[in-house]
Amino acid sequence: MTLKPSPRIADFVDEQRLWRRHMDMAAIGAIGTDGVNRQALSREDIAARCMLIEWAHRRGYRVETDSIANLFVVRPGRNNTLSAVATGSHIDSQPSGGRFDGIYGVLAGFEALECLDDAGVETDRPIAVVAWTNEEGSRFAPSTMGSSVFAGARQLDDFLNVTDSGGAPLHAALATTLDSMAVDATYTVAPPLKAYIEAHIEQGPVLEARGIDIGVVTGIQGVRWFEIEITGRSAHAGTTPKANRSDAMAAAIDAINRVRLAIEDGDERTRFTIGRMEVVPNSPNTIAEIVRFTIDLRHPDAVELETYANAIRSICDAGAGPCGISCRELLSQPPCSFPELMVDTVESAATSLSLSTIRLPSGAMHDALFLASICPTSMIFVPCRNGVSHNPAEFAEPSHLANGARVLVETLVKLANNEQ
């Protein structure tokens, strides 16, 4: 007689349920057939939060929020005086985003909680699934507001008067969100945490190209955001002679070219993006009075990142001909490495499930970057099609999403039972 092996906890991960939840979330803020526009603290973000809260209440989990509307779904442990193990990611999306960036980490975490219920497993420590507020920073800059405030790296007050492109202040959007969620604001999930693990689609091409199931993330490259504002004088495009022009657009193009030259690297490890540009008055036949643009600069090496950031500052300090120029730094986060023990824990959970793994750093920013400053942290990546992200075409296979959730639940149980 052959004995049937007893089921593993990860066997209770329900691929179809996890996929359905993604599609339910994708219906909120849907654009076109596949895209999502669910920017931070918008009506769509609130609707998605409320749906998660309803699912959580149906399962009997505790739901909490904090002053910046981070949303916590907590499955109690045997000893709730012990610090929680947390997982999660973000519900907000880019304006032209996909169905998986961020929301996957929240739903994989929720699937892990449901899986533990279905398997009848208790853990020593509570496990919290967190939806961090405004990870993307596309509506209210900078990004990762919720996790940076939670980790104590930034203060809520730093952000309250930030406005979106329509002039709406963050404090008003935050108040509406907190009111609409109507959940307990006396939160119990607070630093110190025992550990944090975030699941995410890779957002790059490596796992798919190499046919690997799970990316075990070793750290996150550093990022700096700048907002450059160039001020000239608006005047008639056809009648104003060269000597009389204070052309903010000409000065902006010149500054951008100088920056691009200064950050040219041989090994192409630097990432440099100007993703937003505003022109005032933005008329074809008027010389631009103001050009405002953002720089997103990333590098895995802290020293090189600093060198390139200094180059941007020096170029601004050198002036912009007849125009004024100012440079405001919106975000400065050095690269981080996740602790070896956490990386090992994720890797061995994947290996125990016979999933193939590679170790890789994250090119994208994640809430895990801030969590890493307050507790042992790591991340789990799953493949996404063609490495495409921040695009409606973003796609991840249901089976790959489920694999990541399996690794996540096994890792969470180990951490919540102090087995590593």
Binding interface with ligand GLV (CB under 6 A): 136, 143, 364-365
CB of 205 to Mn ion, least distance (A): 16
CB of 106 to ligand GLV, least distance (A): 14
CB of 202 to ligand GLV, least distance (A): 12
Q: Which residues, listed in sequence order, are joined to residue 323 by a DSSP beta bridge?
A: 320
CA–CA dist 29, 39 (Å, integer) = 9
CB of 136 to ligand GLV, least distance (A): 6
289 binds, among ligand GLV, Mn ion, none (CB under 5 to 8 A by kind): none
Cβ proximity to Mn ion, 245 vs 298, nearer residue: 298
Binding positions for Mn ion, rule: CB under 5 A: 101-102
DSSP per position, 31-99: ETTTEE---TTSHHHHHHHHHHHHHHHHHT-EEEE-TT--EEEEE--S-TTSPPEEEEE-----TTB-S
Structure-block tokens of residue 91: 């519900």
Structure-block tokens of residue 203: 């957002």
CB of 9 to Mn ion, least distance (A): 26
Size of the chain, expressed as the number of residues it contains: 420
CA–CA dist 280, 277 (Å, integer) = 10
Residue 365's CB: how many other CB atoms inside 10 A? 23
In angstroms, the Cα distances linking 330 to 67, 166, 333 are 21, 19, 10
199 binds, among ligand GLV, Mn ion, none (CB under 5 to 8 A by kind): none
Cβ proximity to Mn ion, 74 vs 384, nearer residue: 384
28 binds, among Mn ion, ligand GLV, none (CB under 5 to 8 A by kind): none
Cβ proximity to Mn ion, 256 vs 408, nearer residue: 408
Amino acid letter for position 171: H
Cβ proximity to ligand GLV, 115 vs 336, nearer residue: 336
Query: 132 and 223 in contact (C-beta within 8 Å)?
Result: no
CB of 39 to ligand GLV, least distance (A): 12
143 binds, among Mn ion, ligand GLV, none (CB under 5 to 8 A by kind): ligand GLV
CA atoms within 13 A on the CB side of 181: 31
CA–CA dist 66, 131 (Å, integer) = 11
CB-nearest residue to Mn ion = 102
In angstroms, the Cα distances linking 7 to 11, 19, 123, 273, 404 are 6, 22, 17, 48, 18
Cβ proximity to ligand GLV, 322 vs 363, nearer residue: 363
365 binds, among Mn ion, ligand GLV, none (CB under 5 to 8 A by kind): ligand GLV
Cβ proximity to Mn ion, 102 vs 146, nearer residue: 102
CB of 417 to ligand GLV, least distance (A): 32
145 binds, among ligand GLV, Mn ion, none (CB under 5 to 8 A by kind): none
35 binds, among ligand GLV, Mn ion, none (CB under 5 to 8 A by kind): none
Cβ proximity to ligand GLV, 90 vs 194, nearer residue: 90
CB of 406 to ligand GLV, least distance (A): 25
Cβ proximity to Mn ion, 101 vs 208, nearer residue: 101
Query: For 128, phi and psi rounded to 5 degrees?
Result: -115, 135
Count the helix, strand and coil residues of the chain and give each as a percent rounded to the nearest 5: 35, 25, 40
